Each structure stands twice: as structure tokens, then as C-alpha cells.
Amino acid sequence: PQAAARLVNALADAYLAQNVQRRAAEADKSLQFLEAQLPELRQQLETAEVALNEFRNRHQTIDIPGEITALLSQTVELEKHRLELDLRRRDAQARYEPAHPIASALRDQIASVSAQQKRIGDRIRALPKLQQDYLRLARDVEVSSQLYVSLLNNAQQLRVARAGTIANVSIVDRAVVTEKAAKPRRALVVAVGVLGGAAAGFLLTQLLAAMRGRVRDPGELEAALGIHVSATVPESAEQATIDKRKLKEPFLLAQQRPTVGAVEALRTLRLNLQLALADTERGRTILLTSAIPGQGKSFVSANLAFLIASAGPRVLLIDADIRRSSIERYLPVHGERGISDILRERLDPAPFVRADVAPNLSVLPAGDGVDNPGDLLTEERLRGLFAWANEHYDVIVVDAPPILPVSDAVVLGRFADVTAFVVRHKKAAQADVVDAVHQFRLTGAPVTGFVFNGFVPSRVRHGYGGRYGYYRAGYGYGNERRA
């Protein structure tokens, strides 16, 4: 009997260990890759900074016109985008066959970015030699520091994910060897049955209550729905401060504070959604929705649209939340007519678009409030609008209404190529998100990923705030705290 108990226990332990290991292995692989890149990138950054400083010392009085600054930010964006894609490609090489759709999508994207770089390169070569040199050096510094910070961010996310990896099986009871031979004892069986039943009932109600709980860690949602987190966007202190002041003028974080953590995370989101788009056939329309209001759809849509546009493609941001539009908090559009008018009166969308609210970014406002958005948001009325948008823009970002209060939003799913569900840390009930995703999937539209928004790391649980802050301060990216 001892041997039998040992055997059973050993089997159970081995199973548990293997289960944890398998779950952690995936995160480990990516993390190892990133950690191997980090020292190299840091070296690159230091070298680039030294070179730029030397150049500045040598040419104290170089003239830097505004055109150069604009070119600089464009080349930085493109170069960074290309490097990010290149890293992803090297990571993908280790995991997939060359013919895998992800690998080929990455190659296509790299080719298109290189083509854009070539066009800008031609403009730069037309400049005086000294300005060209300055531009090249300044670009190297910008690109390596941004890339370094964003990789640090990714590595942190993976470390958190790995540390949180626990088995999804557990050992209920270990095998023990009894002293006496077994024989049925009726009273005991009845007592255990009654108490056990009561305990099980109690546990079940607790479990249900916990499921109604707020989302603190998207891992359970990922497991329950088979959808992954496309990006974790930290809570932004700057955005919160601005929100408190209730300003009349719009404020766009990605434009005003391009280097803070939340914007870095939105760049990760941009990359992941663009890769997902590249995998689809039409590949143009990104839909953002959420289970309930207030999760950050408008915040994410506006900033994401801006970031995509700043890398080159022509972007149309559609404010499809006609009940409670709030795009004007982020971008300069107010009280204009828009999508509700277009749908109601079946009008041509072109005159309603606010062109170039930022470089390459146009906005289609929500328009006048209406009493019956459900009647307007019909597949038949929307078809013309999306056909028109697909014809005139490279990327369409849709700020959709939340799903649960009014399910008319799900019809928008028919026109989306990729859909991201915004889930706000501690502000969404897990059960609501599960419900909403199920409703959304009924239309046949898949959900591509979660945006885990407003994440506030708890120092007690993760304890890495300090270290992260140290790196950021050390490399001149302390804006988050200075502001």
C-alpha cells in the first residue's frame, strides 16, 4: 500500500509540474529572445548618443529649420516601425515556417515600410550635407531610445505574465495509507454527505460571486474566451490630470506626450492590430468596442488612429458611438453633423469628413444625437458608408458603442476586419465581458484581441514599479513623472 500511495503521489506531482511548465514555456521563449536583444540595443543607444554629442560640439551653430524637425519625426517613426517589424520577424523565424501567414505578413509590411523610407530618403538627400548628417545622427538616437523603452515594456509584460503562470489543474487529495482496513460506516457517510453538500453549495455560490468580480488579471478572460491581450495600456497620470481639469480644448496623449508608457503600449497595439489586418483579406477596418461604457474606447481609438496615421497611411476615424460621442475630447471636432445624419438621410459621406485634423488623419464625427440609433445602425445603411471609406482610406478606425446596454453595436462587427475589445482594469465585470463577447460573436465576426486598459500595477503583487522607473529616468524618458 505504501508503494501504491507513493506512485500515485509521484504521478500527480509530475503532472502538475508539467502543466505549469508548459504554460510558462511560451512566455519564456519570447522573454529569452527579448532579453538577448536588450543589452545590444542599449549599446546601440549609447553609441548613437555619443556620436550626436560629438557632432553638436563640432558644429555649434548648425541651422535647423522646421522642415528638418518634421522630416526627423517621420523618419523616426518609419525606422522604428521597421525595426519593430524586423524584431518580430526574427522572433517569428524561430517559431514558424517561412510560409506561415504571420511570417509572410511581416515580410510584406517590412517591404511597404522600406518603400516609404526610400521616398523620405530621397527628400533627405536633397538637403545640404550638414543637415543630412544631423538628421541621421538625431534619428539614430531617437529610434534606439524609443525602441529600447518599448522592448523594456514588452519584457516587463512578459515577466509579469510568466510570474503569474500557475497550473490550471490542482491536486485535491494526496494518496494516504490507512491504518485499518476499510469498512463502511453509515453514520459517518451520512454526516460527510450532508456537510459536504452544504460546503459544495457554499463554494459554488462563492465561485459565481467571484465570476461577477471585476477583471484584475486578463488571464482568466483569455482562458475562458480563447482571446489574447493585444496590448496592456497602463493608466496614464497625464490623461487623468487633463480629465480632471475638464478642459474645453481637445487633448491627445499620443500627440502631446509621445514617449509616455501608455503611448508606447498603444504603439504595441498598433503593431499587433496591423499584423492582424495583414492576415485578413480586405485588411482595412479596425473596430474598437467594449462590454460596458467608460472602458476607454474613445481614448484608445483616437490615440491609435493618430499613431497609425503618423506612420504614413491615410486614416479615417469614425465616431460610431452616436448616443454618447466623445471624440471631441481628444481631437478638434465639435458639434458637427456626421454619421447619424449620413445614415438618416442616406447622404454622401465626403462633405462630413473633417480632413487632416492631424497629419494623414481625418475624422467622421458622430453627428446630431438621435433617439433611435438602432434604426440607423442597420447593415443596409452602413454598407454604403463603409464601401466609400474603404475606397478612400488605407485604414479605418471605428469607435463603436458598448455592446451590453444596447446591442445595436454588434452590426458594426459585420464591417470590421479586426475587432479589439477594450477591458478596463478593475472596472469591468468578467461576466459582462464574457456575455458581450458571446453576443458579438453571434454576428459571425471574430474578436481579435483584448486591450487591457488603465492597468495600475500593484506594487505588492508585482513589485517592479521602482525598477521600471529607474530605467526610464536613466534614459531621459522620465516625462511621465516630470509632467
Question: Residue numbers of the site for Mg ion (CB under 5 A)?
Answer: 297-298, 321, 326
Number of chain residues interacting with ligand ATP (CB under 6 A): 21
Give the type of residue at 431.
A
Please tell me the distance from the alpha carbon of residue 308 to that of residue 398, in angstroms, as a whole number: 13
For the bound state, the minimum distance from the C-beta of residue 300 to ligand ATP, rounded and expressed in Å, comes to 7
Closest CA to 113 of 375, 404, 312: 312
The residue assigned the cell 452616436 is 322
Q: Which is nearer to ligand ATP, 272 or 298 (CB)?
A: 298
Task: Please name the helix (run of DSSP H) or strand (run of DSSP E) that holds residue 76, with its range, or none.
Answer: helix 66-95
x/- site string to ligand ATP, residues 442 to 481, per CB under 6 A? Answer: -----------xx---------------------------
Q: Which is nearer to ligand ATP, 235 or 394 (CB)?
A: 235
Decide: is 153 part of the binding site for ligand ATP (CB under 6 A). no
Closest CA to 162 of 16, 13, 26: 26
Strand 418-424 relative to strand 285-289: parallel, antiparallel, unpaired? parallel
Q: Which is nearer to ligand ATP, 312 or 413 (CB)?
A: 413
Decide: is 324 part of the binding site for ligand ATP (CB under 6 A). yes
Decide: is 299 part of the binding site for ligand ATP (CB under 6 A). yes
The DSSP secondary structure of 242-298, one letter per residue, reads: HHHHT-SS---HHHH-TTSHHHHHHHHHHHHHHHHHHTSSS--EEEEE-SSTTSSHH
Task: Please name the helix (run of DSSP H) or strand (run of DSSP E) that holds residue 260, with its range, or none.
Answer: none
C-alpha cell of 38? Answer: 536588450
CB 366 within 8 A of CB 337: no
What does the chain come to in residues?
483
Please tell me the distance from the alpha carbon of residue 411 to that of residue 400, in angstroms, as a whole number: 10
Q: Which is nearer to ligand ATP, 156 or 298 (CB)?
A: 298
C-alpha cell of 419? Answer: 475587432
Q: What is the DSSP letter of 121?
A: H
For the bound state, the minimum distance from the C-beta of residue 49 to ligand ATP, rounded and expressed in Å, comes to 30
For the bound state, the minimum distance from the C-beta of residue 454 to ligand ATP, rounded and expressed in Å, comes to 4
x/- site string to ligand ATP, residues 244 to 283, per CB under 6 A? Answer: ------------------x---------------------
For the bound state, the minimum distance from the C-beta of residue 261 to ligand ATP, rounded and expressed in Å, comes to 10
Query: Cα angle vertex 9, ends 220, 19, to 5°?
Result: 30
- Of 179-187, 214-222, 288-296, 469-477, which part binds ligand ATP (CB under 6 A)? 288-296
For the bound state, the minimum distance from the C-beta of residue 165 to Mg ion, rounded and expressed in Å, comes to 34
Q: Which is nearer to Mg ion, 329 or 425 (CB)?
A: 329
Among 239, 340, 419, 448, binds ligand ATP (CB under 6 A): 239
For the bound state, the minimum distance from the C-beta of residue 324 to ligand ATP, rounded and expressed in Å, comes to 5
The DSSP secondary structure of 148-174, one letter per residue, reads: HHHHHHHHHHHHHHHHT---S---S--
For the bound state, the minimum distance from the C-beta of residue 244 to ligand ATP, rounded and expressed in Å, comes to 9
Please tell me the distance from the alpha carbon of residue 86 to that of residue 308, in angstroms, as a whole number: 18
Decide: is 233 part of the binding site for ligand ATP (CB under 6 A). yes
Q: Which residues partner with 315 through β-bridges?
A: 361, 395
For the bound state, the minimum distance from the C-beta of residue 297 to ligand ATP, rounded and expressed in Å, comes to 4
Number of H helices and E strands in the chain, helices first, is 16, 8
Decide: is 402 part of the binding site for ligand ATP (CB under 6 A). yes
Q: Say which entry of ligand ATP, Mg ion, none residue 239 contacts (CB below 5 to 8 A, set by partner kind).
A: ligand ATP
Question: Which residues form the interface with ligand ATP (CB under 6 A)?
Answer: 233, 235-236, 239-240, 243, 262, 290, 293-299, 321, 324, 326, 402, 453-454
